C-alpha cells in the first residue's frame, strides 16, 4: 500500500467494432447498426507516475467500477479499466463467446490507442471464469461457433493474450453455479408450485434438514443435474423447431423458476468455510430462490446453451485454466457467501501456468462489505505479486 492513497481520475471510454448480427439481442444501439458499442470507465491515480500496465476488470453482465476492489487498486497506484460488455446489467440474451470479442476489443484498444504494454486480467467473481475463458482462447483459439451452432469468429478474431491473470472470489463457471444452485424440487417448469417436498430444502415439512446426510446430498445433486438437462433438452428442441420453420422468428425468451437452492447456504458443514449460515450474497436464500435476480431467471434459448447449460457451455473454468500459460494469482475469501469454498483451489490446481500462486484471506466475504482490513490484505497480496513480476 502507498503511504498516501491516490485520488482517482475517471474517464468514460467508448469502444466500437464491426459485427454483422442475424438479429438484435440487446436494447440500445449495440449491434443493430452493424457495430458493437461498448462503454467502460478508465480510472487512473491522480499525480502518480505513468504506467505501462493496465488492469482490466470485466464481468460478463455487471459493471464493476463501484465495487471496492477496482477502486482500491487505483488508489494504490495502478491504472484500471472497468470494462462493460454489450450485456451490461442484463444477462438475458448473453452469449459468452461474444463477450470474449468485447473483451478482445478493449484489450486491442488499450494496446493500440492508449499504448499500454502490459495487460492484466483481474477476474473478480464471475469475471474470473471470463478471464480464464478469454485467455485460453487468446492463447489457443479453437471456437468457430456458439453452442447453439451460430458462427462466431473467436478463432479468427486475433485476440491478444493478457500478460497475467488474477482470479479473486471467483467461481468455476456460471453453468457450474447454476447446476449447484437450481432448485430440484420443481417438477413442472410451467408450474413452480408443483414441487417434490422431499427435495424442497425450504419446506419445513421436509424430513431432510441440516446437517444433511450424504445420501440426501447425492440424490439432491443428481436431481439438480437432471433438471438442468431437462431444460436443455427443451431448449434444443425449441431451437430446432424454430430453425426448421425457416421464418423470421429466430429466438425465444423463457423463465426458469426457483434457481437458488444451494444446500451449502443452509448447512455450513458442507464444504465448510467461515461463511454465515442461512445467508448468501443475495440475502435470505429462500427469498432469493424466487426473486427476480436469480441465476438464469430470464434467458433466451441461445443464452441458456452458452452460459447455463453444464453440458454445452464453453466457459468451464477448469478446462480453460488448463489451457493458459501466463502467471496466475488466485485469491480465495474464506467467508465467501457466493462462491463455494472448493472453487478457487480447483481452478488453481487445474491451471497450466508454471508461475502460479494462491492465497486465502481469512474471514473475507465475497464483497469485503464492512471489511476494510480484508480489502487491504487482498490489495497487499496483489501489489506484491504484480511487483515481483514486473507489472507494477
Give the pLDDT band of residue 344 (cuts 50, 70, 90): very high
Q: What pLDDT score does 392 carry?
A: 81
Concatenated DSSP letters for 271-312?
A: S--SPPTT-BTTBSHHHHHHSTTSTTSEEEHHHIIIII-TTT
Secondary structure of 180-229 as H, E, C letters = HHCCCCEEECCEEEEECHHHCCCCCCCCCCCCCCHHHHHHHHHHHHHHHH
DSSP 8-state class, residue 151: B
Domain boundaries of the chain, sorted by first residue: 8-173+315-388, 176-308
What is the predicted pLDDT for the residue at 32?
63
Q: What is the mean pLDDT of the segment spanning 243-262?
A: 97
- Is 2's pLDDT higher than 60? no
pLDDT in tens, 153-162: 899 999 999 9
What's the CATH number for 8-173+315-388? Answer: 3.40.50.1820
Which of 89, 91, 90, 99 lies closest to 65, judged by CA? 89
Question: Tell me, what's the pLDDT at 1?
Answer: 44
Question: pTM, whole model, 2 decimals?
Answer: 0.96
pLDDT digits 0-9 by tens, 369-382: 899 999 999 999 99
Q: What is the mean pLDDT of residues 89-116?
A: 97
pLDDT value at 33 more than 80:
no
Q: How confident is the model at residue 27 (pLDDT cuts 50, 70, 90)?
A: confident
| β-strand partners of 332 | 360
Q: Check: CB of residue 254 under 8 Å from CB of residue 192.
A: no
Main-chain phi, psi angles of 10, to 5 degrees: -110, 135
Answer whether residue 306 shows pLDDT above 60: yes
pLDDT digits (tens, 9 = 90+) for 146-195: 999 999 989 999 999 999 999 999 999 999 999 999 999 999 999 999 99
Single out the residue of 119, 94, 137, 102 nearest to residue 319, CA to CA: 137
Q: What is the grid cell recorded at 19?
A: 459485427
Amino acid at each position: 500500500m502507498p503511504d498516501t492513497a491516490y485520488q482517482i481520475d475517471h474517464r468514460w471510454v467508448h469502444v466500437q467494432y464491426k459485427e454483422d448480427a442475424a438479429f438484435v439481442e440487446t436494447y440500445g444501439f449495440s449491434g443493430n447498426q452493424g457495430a458493437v458499442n461498448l462503454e467502460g470507465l478508465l480510472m487512473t491515480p491522480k499525480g502518480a507516475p505513468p504506467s505501462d500496465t493496465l488492469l482490466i476488470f470485466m464481468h460478463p453482465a455487471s459493471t464493476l467500477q463501484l465495487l471496492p476492489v477496482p477502486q482500491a487498486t487505483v488508489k494504490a497506484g495502478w491504472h484500471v479499466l472497468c470494462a462493460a460488455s454489450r450485456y451490461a446489467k442484463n444477462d438475458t440474451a448473453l452469449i459468452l463467446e461474444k463477450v470474449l470479442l468485447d473483451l478482445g476489443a478493449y484489450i486491442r484498444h488499450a494496446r493500440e490507442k492508449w499504448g499500454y504494454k502490459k495487460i492484466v486480467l483481474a477476474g473478480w467473481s464471475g469475471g474470473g471464469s471470463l478471464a480464464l475463458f478469454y485467455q485460453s482462447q487468446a492463447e489457443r483459439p479453437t471456437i468457430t461457433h456458439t453452442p447453439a451452432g451460430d458462427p462466431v469468429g473467436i478463432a479468427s478474431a486475433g485476440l491478444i493474450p493478457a500478460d497475467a491473470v488474477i482470479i479473486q472470489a471467483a467461481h468455476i463457471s456460471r453453468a457450474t453455479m447454476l447446476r449447484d444452485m437450481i432448485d430440484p424440487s420443481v417438477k413442472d417448469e410451467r408450474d413452480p408450485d408443483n414441487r417434490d417436498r422431499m427435495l424442497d430444502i425450504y419446506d419445513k415439512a421436509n424430513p431432510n434438514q441440516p446437517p444433511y446426510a450424504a445420501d440426501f446430498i447425492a440424490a439432491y445433486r443428481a436431481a439438480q443435474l437432471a433438471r438442468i438437462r431437462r431444460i436443455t433438452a427443451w431448449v434444443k428442441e425449441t431451437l430446432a423447431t424454430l430453425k426448421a420453420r425457416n421464418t423470421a422468428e429466430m429466438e425465444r425468451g423463457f423463465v426458469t423458476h426457483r434457481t437458488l437452492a444451494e444446500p451449502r447456504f443452509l448447512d455450513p458443514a458442507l464444504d465448510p468455510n467461515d461463511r454465515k449460515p442461512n445467508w448468501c450474497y443475495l440475502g435470505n436464500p429462500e427469498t432469493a430462490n424466487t426473486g427476480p435476480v436469480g441465476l438464469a431467471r430470464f434467458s433466451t434459448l441461445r443464452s441458456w446453451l452458452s452460459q447455463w447449460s453444464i453440458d454445452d457451455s464453453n466457459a468451464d473454468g477448469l478446462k480453460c485454466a488448463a489451457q493458459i500459460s501466463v502467471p496466475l494469482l488466485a485469491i480465495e475469501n474464506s467467508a465467501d457467501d457466493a462462491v463455494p469454498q472448493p472453487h478457487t483451489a480447483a481452478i488453481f490446481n487445474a491451471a497450466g501456468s508454471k508461475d502460479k500462486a494462491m492465497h486465502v484471506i481469512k474471514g473475507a466475504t465475497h464483497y469485503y462489505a464492512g471489511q476494510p482490513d480484508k480489502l487491504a490484505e487482498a490489495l497487499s497480496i496483489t501489489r506484491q505479486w504484480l511487483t515481483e513480476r514486473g507489472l507494477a
